[in-house]
Amino acid sequence: MTSPAERLARLIACRTVSAPVEREEAAFEEFRAVLAELYPLIHERLERTELEGGGLLFRWPGAADERPVVLMAHYDVVPAPAEQWSRDPFAGIIDGGRVIGRGALDDKGPLVSIAEAVETLLSEGFTPEQDVYLSFGADEEAFGTGAARAVDHLERTGVRPWLVSDEGGAVVEDAFPGVQGRLAMIGIVEKGTVDVELLARGGGGHASTPAPRGATARLARAIVRLERHPMPPRLTEPVRLMLRTMSQRMRGPQAGLFARVDRFARPLAELLARVGPETAAMVRTTTAVTRLSGSPARNVLATEARATVNVRLLVGDTKAALVERLEKLFRGLDIEIAGVDGEDPPPVSRTDNDAWRAMVEALAATMPDVLAVPYAQTGGTDSRHFTRICDSVYRFAPLTMSREQRDSIHAPNEFVEIEALDHGIAFFRALLTGLR
């Protein structure tokens, strides 16, 4: 009999890369076939719907259909250039108590945690108190529409989830200076994701006779101006709630500072902006230039120079306000905002209800030393679509992740500890058996 780690390794070996030039539908078909082989009871006993684009939606009928629960994950992954890795990223290697490969953390590890919990409970004859849906997406990494299709399907059938759980935060240690012990960072909201296309036009010509203020030079000035004028930091209500909660694990003056966050909001925002990239992203709208293009040849002046700016909007910020700010920032540079694509931040989920308490109780049952901390997630997830039909959408992968591991997400040498995988399975079992 294979272990959860071995099953995860097999799924990692399915090269489900979600990128325009690398996506191969045969790999996604292979993943779905392997998933059915590894988890036969899920496929035999649950109602299965395959959505356009490869998304999977399973319904596990419960004792009642009120207060349905949705457990989410996605099985597509970002590219993994083999030359950047110390091991083959798609070999599904198990070594030294680790499962190594692209998707081990993001997001096949959490998917396996869900599938293992459901499969073992089915084998034990367990019936949940309420309907449970498993939503496994196939295009999350491409900012796709698969999860929106799942929500459309649920809406058509009259389903309004009581609780939605998706990837997001993790069990971490040493993530914040002065905070003792392990924290379960549970995202109650995520930042809005917007791509802004900047365009500078030029006259072209031969590179041997360049004119001043060419397209590439003006675009470069715009990028430098963007870098030198970041959005000011501020504490949103989800971050204030996070700091108040973390004060329980602190000692000395810093504990009092976090506990009285409303009184010290400005200095705390400035402090978090300086601690590091993770905390800085929690307190400001961020901008990152991710793509550049210019001349098609080395000796030709560009007639057009373009940049893609990936923006993560803080709760309370909007696309409209972003465009207004950029227009003022680029004044005098002759830069066009050629396109704006994306979404404002979704609504903040509740932490004062039974759905939140179910998450906290599942943690207490499986990792009693871990403090549940609500926070504002900086990355985007498929769960944003579910805020349309649910006010309790939580973004949390119940896996312990070190700083090294968090840095490996979307980067080389991603891995999950087998012990952490076991804890993730236990969490979802506790969540499902604790429903009432």
Range 139-158 average pLDDT: 96
**CATH number assigned to the domain covering 191-342:** 3.30.70.360
- 346 pLDDT band, cuts 50/70/90, is very high
User: pLDDT at position 78, please?
Assistant: 97
Cα separation, 167 vs 187, whole angstroms? 9
23 vs 26: CA distance, rounded Å: 9
Under the banding of pLDDT at 50, 70 and 90, the label for residue 176 is confident
Residue 244 near residue 333, CB atoms below 8 Å: no
The CATH architecture assigned to 4-189+347-433 reads 3-Layer(aba) Sandwich (3.40)
Tell me: pLDDT of 436 over 80.
no
> Shortest CA distance to 104 belongs to which of 409, 328, 436?
409
SS (H, E, C) the chain: CCCHHHHHHHHHCCCCECCCCCCCHHHHHHHHHHHHHHCHHHHHHCEEEECCCCCEEEEECCCEEEEEEEEEEECCECCCCHHHCCCCCCCCEEECCEEECCCCCCCHHHHHHHHHHHHHHHHCCCCCCEEEEEEEECCHHHCCCHHHHHHHHHHHCCCCCCEEEEEEEEEECCCCCCCCCCEEEEEEEECEEEEEEEEEECCCCECCCCCCCCHHHHHHHHHHHHHHCCCCCCCCHHHHHHHHHHHHHCCCHHHHHHHCCCCCHHHHHHHHHHHCHHHHHHHCCEEEEEEEECCCCCCECCCEEEEEEEEEECCCCCHHHHHHHHHHHCCCCCCEEEEEEECCCCCCCCCCCHHHHHHHHHHHHHCCCCEEEEEEECCCCHHHHHHHCCCCEEEEEEEECCHHHHHHCCCCCCEEEHHHHHHHHHHHHHHHHCCC
User: 201: Cβ–Cβ under 8 A, 6 or more apart, which residues?
Assistant: 215, 303, 304, 334, 336
pLDDT score recorded for residue 1? 61
Q: Which amino acid is at 216?
A: T
Provide the CA 319 distance to its chain's centre, in angstroms.
Answer: 20
Encoded tokens for 127: 């019936």
- Per cent of the chain over pLDDT 70 is 100
Structure tokens at 405: 């591991």
Instruction: Summarize pLDDT for 25-56 with one digit per residue, the tens.
Output: 999 999 999 999 999 999 999 999 999 999 99
pLDDT of residue 251: 87
- Helices 108-123 and 418-433 meet at what angle, rounded to 10? 50
Whole-model pTM above 0.85? yes
- pLDDT class of 164 with cuts at 50, 70, 90: very high
Q: Region 115-131: what's the mean pLDDT?
A: 97
Residues facing 93 on adjacent strands = 100
Q: Which positions ≥6 away from 399 have C-beta within 8 Å?
A: 105, 109, 110, 113, 170, 171, 416, 417, 420, 421, 423, 424
| pLDDT single digits (tens) 225-265 | 999 999 999 999 999 999 999 999 998 888 998 999 999 99
Query: Vertex 18, ends 14 and 21: CA angle to 5°?
Result: 110
Domain coordinates in residue numbering, the chain: 4-189+347-433, 191-342
pLDDT digits (tens, 9 = 90+) for 354-372: 999 999 999 999 999 999 9
Q: What are phi and psi of 211, to 5 degrees?
A: -95, 155
Convert the pLDDT of each residue in 68-88 to its tens digit: 999 999 999 999 999 999 999
